[in-house]
Chain A
Amino acid sequence: MASAVTHRLAAGGRETKSNSKETVSRAISAPSSSLHLSLNRKDEINASSPEESLHSIGIASGDLVFYSLNSNAFISEIPLVHKPGPSEAKHTDHIMQKTPNQHSSEGQMEAGETDVMADDIADSEQQPAVSESMEIVDGSVEVMGKRDSEPSFVKRVLRETLSSDRNDVKLLVVSIHAIILESGFVLLDRVSGMAVGYSNILDHGPSTTSTLSVRYSLPEILTNGSDSTETVVLKFQNLGHFVNVYGSLSVGGSGLCRVVIDKRKFAPALGLMLAKSDSNDNKISSVYTHEKEVFELWKMVKDGLALPLLIDLCEKSGLGSPPCFMRLPTELKLKVLEYLHGVDIARIACTYSEMRYLSSNDDLWKQKYEELVGQKKLELGNKSYKAWFAREWVAMQHSKRHLDRAIVIPNHNPTYYRIRRDPSPFGIPSMVGGDYDRIPGFGVPSPLGQPGLPHPAFQPRRRFHPMCDLHD
């Protein structure tokens, strides 16, 4: 049975197949000539020359590479595409449209098979022939502090789909499509409604038209054999410098998701990434620039399209929902609230009913109030802590707004002393002298000013020496 001992191997930027074989053989104390490497436990890495760089074969930093001493371990003949192992494997555990016998480790893929989705199943299966696995880590990317595994699937889809013509729109459309697939969706054929291989996305419409519409579903929905016609529809709209992507459910559309992709910003980065993976060059500086943009695009599509659509589709089809804020247990939601400022707690209370309830927890407000005023208040009367917080917060905002210069005396909570005669101390009213001098807050509408009561934020206007402690 396959045991997985993961060796993390640091490799320099210019790893070749023979180098890596050496490294692996050193790690496991076996002769490198009997080593066979594979990315997906099904197919051996066939470099045309042993000196070919790993990058050109398609191995990126963070990839899991399997090795075996058994020469028959990787026997499939068609070079199939590898999907990054840990990502969303659960969604591809089910069969797409082929028969179950592909689960067997000796299963041969039919020659000329262009449906590469089926390959993803093999990925998540335990293959008895493989004895151990190994992870290759690229030293240069580690320095960045970020693992590069996310775009590798996108890179492969791009390479497979776009051989020659790589205009901006195509780059973006295919990349977004790849990210959607990575989240577990499968592309549906426009006519038959069956799942198809991912290369076919551009067959759904020539790239020069301004809109392109595609449908996706989830493997679980397809295998359930339910008559549910619920699918996700993505519409790509090419508009000047931007590509708009709208996502919604085809039947019970509860809402529309949209991302707007600036071609000028993201297409060059994608082109660069693709070009870099084509050539053997490994310029560090270009790696950094395009990585940032590619990650930004990836995260934008994931968070703005893939996840919301996944949540909607799962909900409508009766599947369990993917991880999202609402799915956190109550104690963890409360924990998140503890890290928020009182203002944000009040705002999140307005999002939905459970938040309203959680945000009304007065112990939470006690904590927030004490953080705000910097000390514990013992006597509060019968008002809730939330009300006290609100009052204090408003007072602080107001005094910030209306006092032009202030000195804060360190041993008090925020109290402001004006050092200049200001003809209109509160902004309103503009009367000077008389009662307005004597009674601070006179004429100022409550709750800020109560006539006769000194308010800590507003001091009577009179000349005083700041260091004089006759005050108070």
Chain B
Amino acid sequence: MASSSKTITVVSSDGDEFEMTMKAAEQSKLITHMLDEFGVSDKVPLYNVNSETMAKVMEYCKKHADHEAAKEEDGGAAIGAGGEEELKKWDDEFLKVENGLLFNIILAANYLEIKSLLDSSCQAVADMIKGKTPEQIREIFNIKNDFTPEEEAKLRSENEWAFQED
């Protein structure tokens, strides 16, 4: 069992344990604070994150920690000019998951205070909304329409300008 001082263990709400390097853990402000407060020897309980989401978040943190490390190492030479773009592409692919998991990722990134993941995942949700009609948005996100027909008509006419197609 590798328990060098460079790794910590986090526990998901399902009771599964995940090991991550310090560098990866530093991606999350919450984990960093907890480690500062309570030290690295204990396992960090993350009751708000289930195992499926935890696994995904781990993957993200590791990738971004590795990217940062590579940047620091050669002063940027290892990454090269296209490095940031490559990372962005990786992020986009990473977030191509089913909606339930995507929302869990948003909630986890918010709870764990991982700003870049929160931004990327909210952007991904926004991209799903762009260019859609209200009916389509309701369908994608399983939203229940709670307007009366009159309210709906009024809203529509107030916002008619947004429905003009080019």
Contact = CB atoms under 8 A, between A and B. Distances in A.
Interface in A348-396: 348-353, 355-356, 390, 393-394
Nearest to B126: A339
> What class of interface size applies to chain B in its complex with A?
35 or more
Interface stretch (B9-17, B33-41, B75-83): B9-17
A347 B133 contact: yes
Closest 4 CB pairs of A and B: A339-B126, A346-B162, A325-B141, A323-B103
B146 interface: yes
Contacts of A308: 142
Contacts of B156: 350
Interface string B86-128: 0000100110111111011011001000000010001101110
Contacts, number: 155
Given A324-B100, A347-B162, A348-B129, 15 more contacts: A124-B14, A303-B98, A323-B101, A323-B104, A323-B107, A325-B143, A326-B142, A340-B130, A344-B162, A347-B133, A348-B134, A350-B159, A352-B143, A394-B164, A400-B166
Nearest to B140: A303
30 contacts: A5-B3, A86-B16, A86-B55, A145-B93, A146-B96, A298-B98, A299-B96, A299-B98, A302-B100, A311-B142, A323-B100, A323-B104, A323-B107, A324-B99, A325-B103, A325-B143, A328-B106, A332-B122, A335-B122, A336-B125, A338-B122, A339-B123, A346-B159, A350-B156, A351-B137, A351-B143, A352-B138, A352-B145, A394-B161, A397-B166
A295 to B, nearest CB: 8
Given A323-B104, A336-B125, A353 B146 contact: yes
A132 interface: yes
Nearest to A359: B159
Given A324-B99, A346-B159, A397-B164, A353 B147 contact: yes
Contacts of B144: 254, 352
Interface of A: 3-7, 85-90, 124, 126, 132, 145-147, 254, 298-299, 302-303, 307-308, 310-311, 322-329, 332, 335-344, 346-353, 355-356, 390, 393-394, 397, 400-401
Contact of B159 (A87, A90, A311, A349): A349
Dominant SS among interface residues on chain A: helix
Which residue of B94, B97, B161, B162 has the most chain A CB atoms within 10 A of its CB atom?
B162
Contact of A324 (B103, B134, B146, B162): B103
B131 interface: yes
Contact of A347 (B90, B125, B134): B134
B96 to A, nearest CB: 8
B68 interface: no
Contacts of B14: 89-90, 124
Interface in B19-55: 19, 50-52, 54-55
Which residue of B15, B19, B100, B155 has the most chain A CB atoms within 10 A of its CB atom?
B100
B73 interface: no
